[in-house]
Amino acid sequence: MTENGADKAAGNGAGNGSGSSSAANPTFALQQIYVKDLSLEAPSTPQIFGEPNVEPETELNIRNSHAQLNDNRFEVVLSVTVHAKHGDKTIFLVELLQAGIFVINGFTAEQIAVLLGTQCPATLFPYARETIATLVGKSGFPPLVLQPINFESLYAQAQNQQGAQA
């Protein structure tokens, strides 16, 4: 589907064909989801597999960013890094950029900012979670289950920090 055709499909929903239909019928839709970048490093293999009672310390870092592609299409990128260590040894390091293209139309700028900071990353996270779990499991390590994340709370915290700095 071409960019132009995608925009028409996203904007035509249940509208009446007039230019004001997008304001009356706001649109929030995931158009495309994809892995933008993915890497795994496991520098302690195969030795780590022979060590008894290894209980890794796992560090999770998440951030998101977005770019406007045109008037109503946005690319949102969820960056997830998982670093598993045992003492000073890295067991594995996973870095994932899970991305999606979202069609957002008929919302105010403030509402769009909230959607980009909450709903978009919340939509992408289950895909990132599954990709990381599969990758870690196929690398010979025990299953890694990332807990759900409340992106609304994270967004509110970020807004409070920005307000305190201003």
Peptide bond into 56 cis (omega under 30): no
Q: How confident is the model at residue 52 (pLDDT cuts 50, 70, 90)?
A: confident
Distance between CA atoms of residues 63 and 95, nearest Å:
12
pLDDT surpasses 60 at 109: yes
Condensed to tens digits (0 to 9), the pLDDT of residues 14-35 reads 444 444 444 568 999 999 999 9
Tokens of 26: 């706001």
CA contacts within 13 A on the Cβ side of 103: 19
Distance between CA atoms of residues 51 and 78, nearest Å:
34
SS3 68: strand
One-letter amino acid for residue 33 of the chain: I
Domain 24-141 carries which CATH code?
3.10.420.10
Higher pLDDT residue, 2 or 46?
46
Task: Among 67-81, 96-110, 151-165, name the one with the lowest average pLDDT.
Answer: 151-165
Task: Among 10-24, 42-56, 65-79, 85-99, name the one with the lowest average pLDDT.
Answer: 10-24
Q: How confident is the model at residue 128 (pLDDT cuts 50, 70, 90)?
A: very high
**Confidence at residue 94, expressed as pLDDT on a 0 to 100 scale:** 98
**Confidence at residue 85, expressed as pLDDT on a 0 to 100 scale:** 95
The packing angle between helices 119-138 and 109-117, to 10°, is: 20
CA contacts within 13 A on the Cβ side of 4: 0
Q: How confident is the model at residue 1 (pLDDT cuts 50, 70, 90)?
A: very low
**Confidence at residue 23, expressed as pLDDT on a 0 to 100 scale:** 54
Strand runs labelled E in the chain: 27-41, 57-68, 73-86, 89-105
- Domain limits of the chain? 24-141
What mean pLDDT value characterizes the chain? 87
